[in-house]
Amino acid sequence: MIGPARDRAPSPPPRLILASASPRRLALLQQVGVEPHALLPADIDETPERSELPRVLAARLAAGKAEAASDAAEARGERDGAYVLAADTVVSVGRRILPKCETRDEAEDCLRLLSGRAHRVHTGVTLLTPRGGRRHRLVETRVRFKRLSGVEMQSYLDCGEWSGKAGGYAVQGFASTFVVKLVGSYTGVVGLPLYETVSLLAGEGYPVHAAWAAGDR
């Protein structure tokens, strides 16, 4: 005989797949009590299309990463009942899209361009739901850098923090000292806008706040 509902074992939470290997995005989710069940970084071509606007690129790449991770999860038999979350960040000056820097020269070019001026950070977020739904958000943040001295620029290049970062800097690191003004989402510049991401998850039935009630950190 089945006992009262209060005596039943709680059902396990739905699975969440994060389509990223970024430690920053994982840490941001963990910061708000969300622990992905799997990390499936998506290896897709991130080359901008001809005349593609920065915000369009960010949205397209986030959607592409989500689809690629979903396909990988499907191949592993792990897609059923799972949410798939992906994000991508693009830094731009006007319509010019800055690279995710892999060399010191690239990073130096970016810093010289950003020095003393404003730029925009576009972060696209895509959520695929267990029932085949697709939800998207695009967050744009304006950032202004101070005019960088030669010592500041060379010291930052020496530290290597720029490697793999859009625009050649990490706002949560030493480059935080370059920021004169930021209008928009700080966590979006880090790599995952938490307000929009949590709103997407909660709106689609993912129990974002379960860890809060349990006091888990």
Catalytic residues: 88
Instruction: Could you list the beta-strand ranges (E) of 5-116.
Output: 15-18, 38-39, 82-93, 96-97
Greatest Cα-to-Cα distance within the chain, rounded to the nearest angstrom:
76
Contact predicate 174/161, CB 8 Å: yes
Q: What is the DSSP letter of 76?
A: T
What span, in angstroms and rounded, lies between the C-alpha atoms of 87 and 141?
15
| Nearest by Cα to 37 from 100, 91, 79 | 79
Phi, psi for 171 (deg, rounded to 5): -65, -20
Tokens of 153: 């620029």
Q: Is the dihedral of CA 87, 89, 90, 93 positive or negative?
A: positive
Q: Which two tokens stand for residue 29?
A: 């989710």
